[in-house]
A = this chain, B = another copy of it.
Amino acid sequence: MKQFFKNIYKFWKKVYDSIQYHKQQHTLKEKLYVVIFESDTWSGKLFDIVLIGFIVASIALIILDSMHLFSSGWETFLRVLEWIITLFFTIEYILRVYCVPDKKKYIFSFYGIIDLLSTLPTYLGIFFTSANYLLLIRTFRLIRVFRVFRLFSFLSEGNLILQSLKESRKKIFVFFSFICLLALVIGTIMYVLEKDEPGTGFDNIPNSIYWTIVTMTTVGYGDITPTTSLGRFISACVMLIGYTIIAIPTGIVSVNIAKNVKGKTCKNCGRPQHDNDKSALYCKYCGKELDDNQYK
């Protein structure tokens, strides 16, 4: 009951704050910045949702276009829709550049370049008619989808995964270097063994390396397969090697996830102990004794 009133209070507090904010003597530039770049206010959240709507629509357009489902009658409708989306993105980009304090930093940032690239293809389409190059540029618009992740940021689950991957980064990079060197050696050996068999696909070393990675990762398309006895024996060895080393990234990430899962929280300093085996007796940050009732 108490919780219920608290929530009602919180809700109206937010509405009130939002109204107060717009009443204050902010310049248009400042107001726009809050709406476009932040998502704490109601108007900021609304803008984010509209933006994601347009991103989803532009992706849907690219997908539908690739399926050749529509007769020429629909063609005009799709083209008009494309122009609407492009104009929205153009206006958004201009506003972003206008209201951001540090213009240079934004324009040359990752999202700044993506935002610019996602407006260009339709305009370029007037001058160039080669559809293929155009599509390539249009796919840049897809990367905008990662803006959606901003909405995930409040999820502690996403942070746990990202944190665990981040900490595993160096180990996984060393692991991949090793995999690539191994794929190079095995790929060359298989090329030597199988290159004279017609129709196996081991016709040059890059293809052989591609086959090695397909096999070691246990994907196994079957577009390239060995046919000689020795080739098949080596394949079986490669599979068993791949089967074992699949364990390494799993082990690395498991250990990091286990480490990041929170355990007791210290009453003295308030920090979680990241130790889910419940064997810690003292807070590792401030040295005070941990209470047994602090289990989460």
Contacts and interface: CB of A to CB of B under 8 A. Distances in A.
Interface stretch (A76-84, A90-98, A104-112, A182-190): A182-190
A274 B181 CA distance: 30
Interface in A127-149: 132, 135-136, 139, 142-143, 145-146, 148-149
A58 to B, nearest CB: 12
Contacts of A248: 161, 164-165, 253, 257
Given A66-B191, A222-B222, A251-B254, 9 more contacts: A67-B205, A136-B192, A139-B192, A142-B185, A149-B181, A218-B220, A223-B225, A248-B257, A274-B275
A281 to B, nearest CB: 6
The 10 closest A-B pairs by CB, nearest first: A279-B279, A282-B287, A219-B220, A221-B222, A280-B284, A251-B254, A247-B253, A222-B222, A247-B250, A251-B257
23 contacts: A63-B204, A66-B195, A146-B181, A161-B248, A164-B251, A207-B232, A214-B235, A220-B221, A243-B249, A246-B250, A247-B250, A250-B253, A250-B254, A252-B257, A254-B255, A255-B276, A273-B284, A275-B284, A279-B279, A282-B284, A287-B287, A287-B288, A287-B289
A136 to B, nearest CB: 5
Contacts of A19: none
A237 to B, nearest CB: 9
A235 B210 contact: yes
A243 B179 CA distance: 11
A213 B236 contact: yes
Per assembly, the copies of the chain total: 4
A276 B259 contact: yes
Contacts of A75: none
A242 interface: yes
Output the residue of A59, A62, A209, A287 with the most chain B CB within 10 A: A287
Contacts of A239: 213-214, 217, 219
A285 B279 contact: yes
B206 A232 contact: yes
A240 interface: yes
